Amino acid sequence: MMQISDGYFVGVDVGGTKVAAGLVNSAGEITHRTQVPMVVADAAAGLASVTSAIDSVREATNSNPDLRGLVSGIGICAPGPLDPRTGVVINPPNLPGWRNFPLGDLISKAYGLPVRVDNDGNAAALAEALWGSGRGYRNVFCATIGTGIGTGIVFDGCIYHGRTGAAAEGGHTTIDYRGPRCGCGKLGCIEALASGPAIARRAAEKIAAGHLSSILEHAGGHLDRITSEMVGRAYVAGDLLAKEVLQETAMYLTVWLGNIVDLLEPDVMIVGGGVASMLQPFFGEIHDRLPCWCVNLHCQEIPLVTAHYGADAGIAGGAALCRETSPHLESKVGVPSPSASNSFDCRRP
């Protein structure tokens, strides 16, 4: 179950190029945002980037007498694979220095506060369930579609992690075993068919095959510079090829979400991310076609909605982790030493 205590949390979103952080209250409202470059040269440099972002939020809160000492936890969205029970980042491809890196323990010891660490898909789903478009629903499925496709599952207010913490990799479920190879190595994953790069690739392939489109003008005449954003702009301007590409993407997502419904039957399906914004005009079409791709006769009773949080999903998600209590996550991670202060204005070593 989710805790209902009031207070403030620091949400941290660790990416391959930047670290974003912000102060989040018990209603999911974000203030004191900050962003610093992520340095991936080695483990220590990466950790310094994270603490720099947290310190920036700390300074802002300590300067406000009404906020000083009210922060009760730090939640971090970190690149996986990771172990949410221990807060250890195992071996992230974009952060080679963080192999078996005890991020949770190091941040907890530095600030004397409980710390939760999880991947961005899980954290975003929890934020949506607690404060966003999934509020009031018992079982939530959330997908974030952008450069990749991240997903999260929340049952009764708790993230479903699976046996080892590796569950809910919905972006890497195959819907076409003859499809393009995904970055994960599998064939025909939904990420390889409906993510931003996949949309750009299909548009470029169609143009290379001789189809005319204004998309190429947006790319300055270079096929290799086509992006999904260019496809979206061309669609808004009435480009027929762009419409075809996005309709194909909507079809892929319909097949995929039909499988999600038959497997999980969630109370709501939430879709966010940059590509989701582009595909919002097709949500009605996706919902209408679900019966063709589901055995579940009640599939159209499940709302398909856009996510509440946009670019701040990682910050909100990190903070939401601090509001979750789950027996699966009870472990040594994030437990301050008896001598550590439990307020946010403590001094770091």
Predicted confidence (pLDDT) at residue 343 exceeds the cutoff of 50: no
DSSP 72-99: EEEEEE--SSEETTTTEE---TT-TT-T
**Tell me, what amino acid is at 74?**
I
Under 8 Å CB-to-CB from 343, ≥6 apart: which residues?
Answer: 68, 69, 70, 71, 112
Residue whose pair of structure tokens reads 């949506």 in the numeric block: 128
pLDDT tens-digit readout, 63-82: 888 787 789 999 999 988 99
Say which residue, 340 or 314, is predicted with more confidence: 314
Three-class SS state of 255: helix
Q: Does this model's pTM top 0.95? A: no
Residue 325 — very low, low, confident or very high, per pLDDT cuts 50/70/90?
A: low
Residues 197 and 165: their CA atoms lie apart, in Å, by 27
With vertex at residue 332, the alpha carbon angle to CA 330 and CA 338, rounded to the nearest 5 degrees, is 115
Residue 152 — very low, low, confident or very high, per pLDDT cuts 50/70/90?
A: very high
Residue whose pair of structure tokens reads 């290379």 in the numeric block: 208
Check residue 345 and give its pLDDT: 44
Residues 142 and 5: their CA atoms lie apart, in Å, by 25
Q: Which of 47, 18, 24, 20 is nearest to 34 (CA)?
A: 20
pLDDT tens-digit readout, 207-247: 999 999 999 999 999 999 999 999 999 999 999 999 999 99
